[in-house]
Amino acid sequence: MNTQKQSGPLSTLAYRSRAVPSFSTSELDSLIETARARNRAAAITGMLIYDEGRFFQWLEGPSEQLSNLWQTIRKDPRHTGIEVLDDTRSEARMFGQWDLKFAAGSTPLQVDPTLPVVVSRDLLGSLYRNAQAPAALLSNMGVARAAIVSTPPGANVAQGAVLRQMVDAEVIPELVKRHRADRPRLPLAHPRAAELAKLLTAADPADAFALLDLLQVEAGSLALSSATVYEPAARTLGELWADDACTDVDVTLGLGRLQGSLRQLELAMPVRAHSGRPLRAVLVAPQPGEVHMLGAVLDAEVLWRDGWDIQCEFPATDAALNTLVAEHWFEAIDLSLSAAFRREHWLPRVAKTIAAARRASVNPEIVVVVGGRIFYEQGANATLVGADAESATALNLTQTLTSSLRRHDS
């Protein structure tokens, strides 16, 4: 049990990775013993799950100590495919009684006996496979509000019934809250979007472009094509990378090819007739530092076709973005993260960017809408970064901007 007093602000970090190679029982025992001693010395608490050669770890503690620990963990050659799932400041510990709680294989975990919920290994495994902010999901479900302790030997745990109870009592209400009633229903990805993603990484992109042409004609509009073809293909590229089926360079190449294909649509698809109302000026830009520009390019093209007065820029720094909003009047900013990667650990960075842009803007009532894969998968992050709304896809961007501006006008 960790009894060392903390100093300074707290932070939480969650990540997943793959072991190189899989660990034996004795190797796991040695790793856990070392990690617990290290965590105890640094006032770090948390939990670690190991399952079929995969790690999921949630660490929490003083920000400086956690940052130093993370530098060591990410350089450890015993794991690869490291993906940060959550990296934020926090107000309180979730696993304050444990230097490092460990679960592996079929080991079940149980919340404090006063709570009528058992957390099965199946549920924790599903959290590992689903990278949609597992730390936030665990916290919201109440799993981490009490010390996690081992299930007593011989305990009769009806795993299926317990999991259904957890889903009915905790998960569904949380998802309903996250996916508000006013969030538009999104169309399904085209069945061939995954095939397109693989073709985009080939040495010869001819087959990819031929398939793109076909799918664009089927969609009939750029906005629908964005939601059913472009963005799903980008997300598949991210999954291929996570599975070591392609490299960072392949992802960037594939996204670049998707972006380049948009130029061919300029004459092929119609522009919506202007309604006669004054055009509303929108600055479209990726988050400064974001190397993937596809989201911004898609948004700019869709908004232009819908009759908005758009200015698409690619500021390299927050200062460059601040200069833009200080020198030009914009009704809104459309700020995007990667369409391929989740970028959960970028959310604090986005929050700082938005706060600085609001302070710098010549328009004190400027509206900020955010987009990218993380906002497609999690419909409640706009408030976390200080934005007015999130756009799950370019398809609903016009509606999102219109609604947000209308609320500010009223």
Class of residue 145 by CB neighbours under 10 A (exposed 0-12, middle 13-18, buried 19+)? middle
Within 110-158, residue ranges assigned H as helices are 121-129, 134-140
Cα–Cα distance, 364 to 395 (Å, whole number)? 28
Q: What is the DSSP letter of 151?
A: P
Which among 215, 207, 217, 220 is positioned nearest to 189, based on CA atoms?
215
pLDDT, position 25: 77
- pLDDT over 90, % of the chain: 32
Mean pLDDT for the chain? 75
13-38 burial by CB neighbour count: b if 16+ within 10 A, else e?
bbbbbbbeeebeeeebeebbeebbee
What pairs with residue 58 in β-bridges? 14, 47
CATH number of the 10-178 domain: 3.30.70.100
CATH number of the 193-409 domain: 3.40.50.280
Region 158-175: mean pLDDT is 38
Residues of the chain with CATH 3.40.50.280: 193-409
- 141-155, 257-271, 350-364: which is most confident: 350-364
Question: How many other CB atoms are there within 10 angstroms of residue 182's CB atom?
Answer: 9
Whether the CB-CB separation of 14 and 131 falls below 8 Å is answered with no
pLDDT, position 188: 80
pLDDT class for 275, splitting at 50, 70, 90?
A: low
pLDDT, position 185: 63
pLDDT at residue 181 above 90?
Answer: no
pLDDT at residue 146 above 50?
Answer: no
pLDDT, position 250: 93
Hey, what are 291's tokens? 């190397």
pLDDT, position 180: 40
Region 95-124: mean pLDDT is 46
pLDDT at residue 195 above 90?
Answer: yes
pLDDT, position 51: 66
- Which tens digits make up the pLDDT trace of 50-73? 766 778 788 888 888 888 888 888
- Which tens digits make up the pLDDT trace of 355-398? 999 999 999 999 999 999 988 876 556 877 889 999 888 888 99
Q: pLDDT higher for 152 or 13?
A: 13
pLDDT, position 271: 55
pLDDT, position 142: 37
pLDDT, position 297: 93
Cα–Cα distance, 4 to 89 (Å, whole number)? 20
Q: How far from each other are the two terminal CA atoms of the chain, in whole angstroms?
A: 54
pLDDT at residue 172 above 60?
Answer: no
- Which tens digits make up the pLDDT trace of 212-260? 989 888 888 888 889 999 999 999 999 899 888 999 999 999 999 998 8
Cα–Cα distance, 11 to 188 (Å, whole number)? 36
Over its C-alpha atoms, the chain yields an Rg (Å, rounded) of 23
Cα–Cα distance, 116 to 275 (Å, whole number)? 57
pLDDT, position 154: 34
Which among 245, 219, 244 is positioned nearest to 232, based on CA atoms?
219
Q: What is the Cα 353 distance to its own chain's centre? A: 17
Residues of the chain with CATH 3.30.70.100: 10-178
pLDDT at residue 124 above 50?
Answer: no
Q: At a CB cut-off of 8 Å and minimum separation 6, what does 273 contact?
A: 307
Region 67-86: mean pLDDT is 83
Whether the CB-CB separation of 318 and 350 falls below 8 Å is answered with no
